[in-house]
A and B are shown apart, each in its own frame.
Chain A
Amino acid sequence: MAQSILHLADSRGKANHGWLKSAHTFSFGSHHDPERIHFGALRVLNDDHIAGGRGFGEHPHDNMEIISIPLSGELKHKDSMGNEAVIRSGEIQVMSAGTGIYHMEFNNHQDIPTELLQIWVFPNKRNVEPRYDQTSISYKENPNVFEQILSPNPKDAGVWIHQNAWFHIGAFEHGKSIRYALKAAGNGVYVFIIKGSVSINGQSLNERDGYGIWDTDSFEITAEKDVEILLMEVPMNI
Chain B
Amino acid sequence: MAMKKIEILAVGAHEEIMKTVLRLINANENWNASGARSEEDAIDLFKRKAFDLVLLGAGIPDEEKLREKLQYLRPDVICVDHYGGGSGLLKCEIIQGLAKRELI
| A residues lining the B interface (CB < 8 Å) | 27-30, 32, 34, 37, 43-44, 59-64, 97-100, 102, 120, 122, 126-127
Contacts and interface: CB of A to CB of B under 8 A. Distances in A.
A62 B12 contact: yes
Query: Dominant SS at the A interface?
Result: loop
A60 B63 contact: no
Contact of A29 (B12, B13, B58, B87): B87
B20 A122 contact: no
Contact of B84 (A32, A34, A63): A63
A126 B96 CA distance: 20
Interface string B79-91: 0011111111101
A27 B20 CA distance: 20
A102 B57 CA distance: 15
Contacts of A102: 16-17
A27 B92 contact: yes
Chain B, interface size category, equals 20 to 34
B92 A61 contact: no
Query: Dominant SS at the B interface?
Result: loop
Contacts of B16: 60, 100, 102
Interface of B: 12-14, 16-17, 20, 57-61, 63, 81-89, 91-92, 95-96, 99
Contact of A62 (B58, B61, B99): B58
A66 to B, nearest CB: 8
Q: Which of A34, A43, A122, A126 has the most CB of B within 10 A?
A: A126
Contacts of A27: 92
A63 B85 CA distance: 9
Given A99-B59, A102-B16, A60 B92 contact: no
B10 to A, nearest CB: 12
Nearest to B21: A60
A170 B44 CA distance: 53
